[in-house]
Amino acid sequence: MNRLILLGTAPSVNHMYVNARVGHGTKRVLTKTALQWRDETVAIANVWRVRNKWSTAQRKVVVRLWFYFPDKRRRDTHNGLKVLLDALEDALIYQDDRLALPQIMDYQCDKQNPRIEIEFEVVN
């Protein structure tokens, strides 16, 4: 199966949310940058899903992830999983992101081509 390749990296939790006023209180909402990244990820994953004839999973799905960061700064690979797994749900990779079983396979630096590579496997 072909890997889904997302260019760039997911925004970290520290850069993903801002507090916004909602009614008489505040609520944490995605930043403009995180919203844009999520929307682009949904579009790319939708194209991948159609090209690979992937049926929306109704069961658990192993989500294997390889991270290629743009520099050698210290980063946590799991820091952007929330927005990534939510975007894959919106792209109909699986019916509900609670079905996703993320497995971080490796990470490294690739200054020329930062990206996230993803493989999916439905668990029987």
pLDDT tens profile 10-33: 887 777 777 888 888 888 888 888
Domains of the chain: 4-122 (3.30.1330.70)
To the question of pTM greater than 0.95 for the whole model, the response is no
Q: How much is the pLDDT for 26?
A: 87
- Return d(Cα 23, Cα 66) in angstroms, integer: 41
Q: How much is the pLDDT for 31?
A: 85
Amino acid symbol at 107? Y
Q: How much is the pLDDT for 1?
A: 65
The crossing angle, in degrees rounded to 10, of helices 32-51 and 81-90 is 50
Q: How much is the pLDDT for 68?
A: 96
**Cα 101 from chain centre:** 12
Pair of tokens at residue 56: 């929306």
The CA–CA distances, whole Å, from 111 to 19, 40, 72, 119 equal 32, 21, 9, 22
5, 116 contact by CB (below 8 A): yes
CB atoms within 10 A of CB 31: 13
pLDDT tens profile 41-80: 999 999 999 999 999 999 999 999 999 999 998 888 888 8
- Return d(Cα 1, Cα 11) in angstroms, integer: 27
